[in-house]
């Protein structure tokens, strides 16, 4: 599909394995604590029982597993733009992504 139309994809191996020739690659990061805080809030809103500490442990475990796997490990593509969203909200993240896309596309 990505070879036929413009597409936005999200995933831990998109820029390095799935679409290594993509025109724009953004490697989004946030601190473990921030990602755990976001997931904890989301789980609370959905009524999913959990503790913040368990979520921190889960996030750290997933990062460790994904970063060390043999096939398509979690890592930024060499030509990706790193975007740290630790200290910005969703709207600011969207604006930052759009700015990167416009800069890369020359818009």
Q: Dump pLDDT digits (tens) for 64-92.
A: 999 999 999 999 999 999 999 999 999 99
Per the DSSP assignment, residues forming a β-bridge with 28 are 83
Whether 106 is in a domain gets the answer no
Q: What is the CA radius of gyration of the chain?
A: 16
Whether 100 is in a domain gets the answer no
Whether 5 is in a domain gets the answer no
Whether 39 is in a domain gets the answer yes
Tens digits of residue pLDDT in 33-55: 999 999 999 999 999 999 999 99
Q: How many residues does the chain have?
A: 107
Tens digits of residue pLDDT in 6-32: 888 888 889 999 999 999 999 999 999
Cα separation, 75 vs 67, in Å, equals 7
How many Cβ atoms sit within 10 Å of the Cβ of residue 6? 7
Q: To the nearest 5 percent, what fractions of the chain are helix, strand and coil?
A: 50, 5, 45
Q: For the chain, what is the domain count?
A: 1
Rounded to two decimals, the pTM is 0.86
Which domain, by its residues, includes 46? Answer: 14-89
Whether 99 is in a domain gets the answer no
Whether 36 is in a domain gets the answer yes
């Amino acid at each position: 599909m990505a070879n036929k139309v413009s597409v936005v994809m999200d995933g831990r191996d998109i820029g390095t394995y799935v679409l290594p020739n993509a025109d724009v690659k953004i490697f989004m990061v946030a601190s473990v604590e921030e990602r755990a805080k976001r997931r904890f809030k989301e789980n609370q809103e959905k009524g999913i029982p959990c503790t913040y500490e368990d979520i921190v442990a889960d996030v750290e475990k997933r990062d460790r597993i994904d970063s060390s796997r043999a096939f398509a490990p979690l890592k930024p593509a060499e030509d990706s733009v790193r975007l740290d969203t630790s200290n910005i909200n969703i709207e600011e993240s969207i604006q930052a992504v759009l700015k990167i896309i416009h800069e890369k596309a020359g818009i």
